[in-house]
Structure 1
Amino acid sequence: MIELINVTKSFRAGTNVKYTARGINMVFPTGAVVGLLGRNGAGKSTMMNMIGGSTKPDSGQIRITGTVSWPVGFAGSFHRDMTGAQNVRFIARIYGVDTEDLLDFVADFAELGHHLNEPVRHYSSGMRSRLAFGVSIGIPFDTYLVDEVTSVGDANFRRKSRMVFQNRMERAGAVMVSHSMTQVRQMCSAGAVLEGGYLTYYEDIEEAIDAHHRNMGTGEED
């Protein structure tokens, strides 16, 4: 369970202050797969980072029961001079999982071949994303934070990513950001809509999508 208690977050934009969270009180239930919806710039990534712990709210608390991942697929924390395999082993030790089991999973999933034993600085952005997704989803968390990650790679890799993600969701929950309403419908059972610094939870994903469309002033979108 993820509980937001009077959470406020703002940024200065020139002479103005922009709020991405205004005293939010909400619970993401244990085991739920929640689509986090909102217009560009609404603060979805900031919300994910606050839940993940990399960004602190200005005020309020975020209480977490169980384990929560970093944003799945985030590749910014790899050590560029270490190989992909060395990075995987390092992360496995930090999170207390078997190093070789995680490495075997990532090698099979990310399909990097011999590049897994090369320094990450030589990777393309796509290769880093595939490595990051493999490491993220290879560790058993209670709740995964997912930010557009299943859009990485070609059609076959995206299909495999969705299958692995859905398999994980049989035993875990997630908070997921995606601009594809088709993808949100396929993967999410509930929704939360962020608009003007306020977050509204909907137990029915279709109600969340409808509210998002009303905020956008648009009809159905893919």
Structure 2
Amino acid sequence: MIRLDHVTKSFMADGVRKYVMRDASLTLPRGRSVGLLGRNGSGKSTLLRMIAGASEPDEGAIIRKSRISWPLGFGGGFHGALTGAQNACFVARIYGVDTDDMLERVREFAELGPFLRMRVSTYSSGMRARLAFAVSMAVDFDVYLVDEITAVGDSAFKAKCAAAFKAKAEKADIIMVSHSPSVIRQYCDAGVVLENGRLDYYDNVEKALAAHEANMKRPVKA
């Protein structure tokens, strides 16, 4: 279970405070896979990072009673001065995973070759994403956070990611951001619509998609 309790999140843009969420409260139940829907720039990725604990709300709290992944493909949490292998081992120790098993699985999956033993600060964004996805697949989470993960790597690597993710999705819940309705339908059975700082939960993914489409036909509020 994940619960947002009166959460407010904002940022400054051109000297004006913009609100991603205002006093938002929401409960995401276990056993449901949820698609996060909203306009471009509405704050969907920010919400994912807050659920992961990578970003804090300005006000309110997020209560987590599940083992939650970081957003798949997000490598911003890695320490640049450490090698890919050292970062993977660090994550393994945090989550109680055997370090040798972690390294072997990451080596095979990420296909980074000798770069796995090089500092992450030398990695391209794509290499960081490969490492992050491989490490994520080596840990069993209750909930996987997904932010447009299909954008990672070439076609062959995308296919491998899709197969690995499908296997994980059969055993765990998902909270997913995607601009593709077909992808949302494939993986999710419920939805949350983020609009003008408000979060609305829909127990049926088709109703969530319909609400999002209706919002998209309305002008954006200043």
- Normalised by the size of structure 2, how large is the TM-score? 0.90
- Mapping 1:99-178, distance limit 5 Å: 99-178=99-178
1:134 deviates by: 0.7
Q: How many matched pairs?
A: 218
CA distance in structure 2 between the partners assigned to 1:83 and 1:50 by the alignment: 26
CA distance in structure 2 between the partners assigned to 1:8 and 1:76 by the alignment: 23
Q: What residue is the counterpart of 1:56 in the other structure?
A: 56
CA distance in structure 2 between the partners assigned to 1:14 and 1:82 by the alignment: 36
CA distance in structure 2 between the partners assigned to 1:31 and 1:101 by the alignment: 28
Cα deviation, 1:159-193, whole Å, max 9, x if unaligned, reads 22122112112221121111122221211111111
Secondary structure in structure 2 of the residue aligned to 1:70: coil
Classify 1:78/1:57 alpha carbon distance in 2 versus 1 (closer, same or farther; 3 Å): closer
Cα deviation, 1:116-152, whole Å, max 9, x if unaligned, reads 2233233222121111111122211111111112221
Structure 2, gaps ≥5 residues long: none
CA distance in structure 2 between the partners assigned to 1:122 and 1:12 by the alignment: 31
Moved more, 112-121 or 124-133: 112-121
CA distance in structure 2 between the partners assigned to 1:100 and 1:177 by the alignment: 32
Percent of matched pairs sharing the same residue? 53
Secondary structure in structure 1 of the residue aligned to 2:161: helix
- Mapping 1:1-222, distance limit 5 Å: 1-217=1-217
Cα deviation, 1:70-105, whole Å, max 9, x if unaligned, reads 222211222333322122112211222111111111
Paired residues of 1:31 and 1:142 also in contact (CA < 8 A): no
Paired residues of 1:5 and 1:24 also in contact (CA < 8 A): yes
Cα RMSD after superposing both structures: 1.7
1:15 deviates by: 4.8
Secondary structure in structure 2 of the residue aligned to 1:159: helix
